């Protein structure tokens, strides 16, 4: 098992990465040795891995089980009320711990509930998708959605422990693997150079080997923690993690989150925002071509998304990171060197449209 020590503000905790590490795990036992632990568990994961999970949960006599139907539309505060009432019905106290086992939907939702119950109780995060391991469970953002947009209501809650058990990834469909890979590639392009070198040597099949994937998870988590530790509240450098997401979110919202995965949207966003970086005279043509080639290597290339460029631009104007009327991009100065905040030049609309046209199928 590999471990990373996270130091985020006053919080110190460990992120563990390895195969079948949830079983017989002393650190997990220690964190969950409280009056009660409320296990918020994905129903889908329970069906897929019930034998493993039942053996694991059997170790904990102080548990109360709360199965969650892990759909994005359930990430809302009305559904949360049911869980919060359940916590009270089972007499959870301020010393109790929420134990989240599932993808990013479960982690965000369970974290939101934990941050509210009795004005905030502790959480242990056991992410079970690649995206949740390298992104959603790392950094302490927890939230639910409103009709007006995703993740609009939430808070910051750093966990007591994060356990990335790669054994569970064996059942993850390829489209979900690609969602996690899109975030790993994003981290590689904005500074996680160790992962960039590994990614170059593999493809969508070979990257899924246990040892390769766990090394990428390790590097990616370490990188995200290094960024978050400098800016927990997302007021400065943490915004670099938004690379590829200004365009990506606009595509998802234009398509009303149907017929497209988050990974596909982010991959298109990375391509478009790399092209903008090149057209603004920042990134070299050679580096921009390397990025396109890397995404192609993982079957996340150009032209797979059919969307009108002007409509995507229209949706980018609603991005919550914008300041006034100007769209806030994260651009690349070179591979591994992002620009953010005041150092990013204003990008003219015709540059954005041209990059979108090159990336999308209209
Ligand atoms: N808090 C943050 O910083 C942050 C960052 C990124 C994303 N998010 C949030 O994360 C969510 C997306 O997370 P996600 O990509 O993990 O999606 P998800 O939680 O919807 O999981 C994707 C699918 O995989 C299934 N699944 C989970 N584990 C599995 C396994 N081991 N084997 C097979 N199937 C499995 C789930 O049941 C689901 O059908 C979004 O709600 C997003 O807003 C949060």
- Can you list the alpha helix ranges (DSSP code H) found in 229-304? 245-254, 262-279, 285-297
Using alpha carbons only, give the angle 114, 115, 120 rounded to the nearest 5 degrees.
90
Determine the average pLDDT of the residues in 142-146.
Answer: 97
Which stretch of 7-21, 92-106, 302-316 has the lowest confidence by average pLDDT?
302-316
At residue 318, the pLDDT reads: 73
pLDDT tens per residue across span 298-352: 999 877 899 999 999 999 887 767 767 778 899 999 999 999 999 999 999 999 9
At residue 35, the pLDDT reads: 97
- What is the CA(85)–ligand 1 centre distance, in A? 24
Share of the chain above pLDDT 90, in %: 93
Ligand 1 atom having least distance to the Cα of 70: 37
β-strand 11-18 against 63-68: which pairing, if any? Answer: unpaired
pLDDT tens per residue across span 24-57: 999 999 999 999 999 999 999 999 999 999 999 9
Ligand 1 atom having least distance to the Cα of 105: 19
**Structure-token pair, residue 235:** 């007021």
Determine the average pLDDT of the residues in 125-130.
Answer: 98
Ligand 1 neighbour 150 (Cβ under 6 A): yes
Query: Residue 11 in 3-state DSSP?
Result: strand
Mean pLDDT of the chain: 96
At residue 13, the pLDDT reads: 98
At residue 272, the pLDDT reads: 97
Write b or e for each residue in 324-333: b if 16 or more Cβ atoms lie within 10 A of its Cβ, otherwise e. Answer: eeebbbbbbb
**Structure-token pair, residue 197:** 């070198």
**Structure-token pair, residue 311:** 């409509």
Share of the chain above pLDDT 70, in %: 99
At residue 303, the pLDDT reads: 77
- What is the CA(131)–ligand 1 centre distance, in A? 6
At residue 53, the pLDDT reads: 97
At residue 44, the pLDDT reads: 97
- What is the CA(325)–ligand 1 centre distance, in A? 32
Q: Is 36:96 a contact under the CB 8 Å cutoff? A: yes
At residue 285, the pLDDT reads: 98
pLDDT band, very low/low/confident/very high, at 289 (cuts 50, 70, 90) = very high
Has residue 68 got a pLDDT over 80? yes
Ligand 1 neighbour 131 (Cβ under 6 A): yes
Phi, psi values for residue 338, rounded to 5° = -85, 155
pLDDT tens per residue across span 164-189: 999 999 999 999 999 999 999 999 99
At residue 361, the pLDDT reads: 87
Beta strands in 9-140 (DSSP E): 11-18, 37-42, 63-68, 97-102, 122-127
Ligand 1 neighbour 103 (Cβ under 6 A): yes
Q: State the Cα–Cα distance between residues 188 and 220, nearest whole angstrom.
A: 8
Ligand 1 neighbour 141 (Cβ under 6 A): yes
Ligand 1 neighbour 165 (Cβ under 6 A): no
Ligand 1 atom having least distance to the Cα of 130: 16
Ligand 1 atom having least distance to the Cα of 142: 1
At residue 359, the pLDDT reads: 95
Determine the average pLDDT of the residues in 114-120.
Answer: 98
pLDDT tens per residue across span 205-218: 999 999 999 999 99
């Amino acid at each position: 098992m590999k471990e990373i020590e996270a130091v985020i503000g006053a919080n110190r905790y460990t992120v563990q990465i390895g195969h079948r590490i949830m079983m017989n795990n002393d650190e997990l036992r220690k964190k969950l040795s409280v009056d009660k632990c409320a296990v918020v568990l994905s129903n889908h994961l329970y069906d897929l891995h019930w034998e493993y999970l039942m053996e694991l949960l059997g170790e904990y006599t102080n548990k109360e089980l709360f199965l969650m139907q892990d759909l994005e539309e359930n990430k809302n505060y009305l559904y949360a009320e049911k869980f919060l009432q359940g916590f009270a019905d089972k007499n959870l106290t301020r010393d109790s711990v929420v134990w989240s086992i599932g993808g990013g939907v479960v982690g965000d939702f369970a974290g939101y509930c934990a941050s509210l119950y009795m004005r905030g109780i502790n959480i242990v995060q056991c992410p079970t998708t690649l995206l949740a391991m390298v992104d959603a469970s790392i950094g302490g953002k927890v939230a639910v959605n409103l009709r007006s947009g995703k993740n609009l209501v939430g808070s910051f809650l750093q966990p007591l422990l994060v356990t990335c058990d790669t054994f569970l990834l064996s059942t993850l469909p390829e489209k979900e693997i690609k969602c996690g890979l899109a975030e790993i590639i994003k981290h590689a392009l904005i500074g996680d150079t160790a992962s960039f070198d590994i990614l170059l040597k593999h493809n969508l099949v070979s990257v899924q080997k246990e040892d390769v994937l766990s090394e990428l998870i390790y590097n990616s988590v370490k990188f995200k923690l290094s960024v978050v530790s400098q800016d927990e509240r997302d007021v400065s450098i943490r915004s670099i993690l938004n690379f590829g997401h200004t365009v990506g979110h606009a595509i998802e919202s234009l398509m009303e989150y149907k017929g497209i995965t988050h990974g596909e949207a982010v991959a298109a966003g990375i391509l478009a925002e790399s092209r903008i970086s090149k057209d603004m005279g920042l990134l070299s043509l050679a580096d921009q071509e390397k990025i396109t080639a890397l995404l192609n290597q993982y079957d996340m290339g150009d032209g797979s998304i059919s969307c009108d460029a002007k409509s995507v631009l229209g949706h980018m104007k609603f991005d919550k990171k914008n300041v006034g009327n100007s769209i806030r991009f994260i651009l690349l100065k070179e591979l591994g060197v992002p620009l953010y905040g005041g150092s990013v030049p204003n990008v003219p609309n015709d540059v954005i449209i041209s990059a979108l046209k090159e990336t999308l199928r209209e």
